[in-house]
């Protein structure tokens, strides 16, 4: 796990620098991005008692991975180096909070993040368990979403020219399908994801 966390932290640092080379000095409110993503995750799971809703667990998992991007960015700033950040995340993931209701677990994570202005990975691990997401799946999905974020930036996300809906479906949905065709142990895993996305992109 520690080796994979180090890879993820390095990828996150590179992604942040791709968007803004001075990201470490930018003063971004990572915690704010996290709790707003919690609301999106809750919407994908469903909470409205006045209408029929079916949990969309694939989208819930993708939202959790989005949160991971912001939480790791925060820890990269808090810790002295990547190894310290990885060790801290690993320790917190190994001791998950014990809340058995997913809606409450999401709210607890949002509330704690707002109160502390930082997310704790014990809350994150709790949600992982409730949606049957193991660390290998988290790693695979994170790498995929990180590559998608690079792809978005390379195709005009920042200036507004990026096309997010491809053949009537969001790019996230295409990512899930691309990941389903690939072997995450391949040495060219990242390049294969990028190539798969490029082959589907309408622009």
* Mean pLDDT value of segment 180-194: 90
Q: Count the Cβ atoms, other than its own, within 10 Å of residue 198.
A: 12
Residue with tokens 């195709």: 155
Query: The dihedral of CA 66, 69, 72, 78: what is its sign?
Result: negative
Inter-residue contact 50 to 82 (CB < 8 Å): no
Model confidence pLDDT, tens digit, residues 5-56: 999 999 999 999 988 999 999 999 999 999 999 999 999 999 999 999 999 9
Q: What is the pLDDT of residues 92-102, one digit of tens each?
A: 999 999 999 99
Q: Is the pLDDT score of 68 beyond 90? A: yes
Nearest to 70 by CA among 162, 146, 137: 146
The residue-averaged pLDDT of 153-164 equals 92
- Rounded to two decimals, what is the model's pTM? 0.86
Question: What average pLDDT does range 184-188 have in this prediction?
Answer: 85
What is the helix (H) or strand (E) element at residue 170, kind and residue range?
Answer: strand 169-170
Q: Which fold, 1-133?
A: all-alpha NTP pyrophosphatase fold (1.10.4010)
Are 58 and 64 a contacting pair, CB within 8 Å?
A: no
Residues of the chain with CATH 1.10.4010.10: 1-133
**Mean pLDDT in the chain?**
94
Which candidate, 35, 41, 65, places its Cα nearest to that of 149?
65
């Amino acid at each position: 796990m520690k080796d994979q966390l180090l890879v993820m932290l390095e990828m996150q640092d590179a992604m942040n620098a791709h968007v803004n080379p001075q990201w470490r000095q930018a003063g971004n409110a990572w915690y704010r991005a996290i709790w707003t993503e919690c609301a999106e995750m809750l919407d994908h799971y469903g909470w409205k008692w006045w209408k029929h809703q079916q949990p969309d667990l694939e989208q819930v998992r993708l939202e959790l991975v989005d949160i991971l991007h912001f939480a790791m960015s925060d820890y990269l700033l808090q810790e002295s180096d990547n190894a310290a950040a990885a060790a801290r995340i690993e320790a917190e993931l190994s001791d998950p909070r014990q809340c058995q209701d997913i809606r409450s677990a999401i709210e607890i994570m949002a509330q704690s993040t707002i109160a502390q202005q930082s997310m704790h990975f014990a809350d994150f691990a709790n949600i992982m368990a409730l949606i049957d997401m193991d660390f290998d799946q988290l790693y695979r999905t994170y790498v995929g979403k990180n590559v998608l974020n690079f792809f978005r930036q390379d195709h005009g996300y920042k200036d507004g020219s990026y096309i997010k809906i491809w053949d009537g479906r969001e790019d996230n949905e295409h990512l899930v399908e691309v990941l389903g065709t690939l072997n995450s142990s391949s040495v060219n895993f990242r390049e294969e994801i990028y190539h798969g996305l490029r082959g589907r992109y309408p622009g």
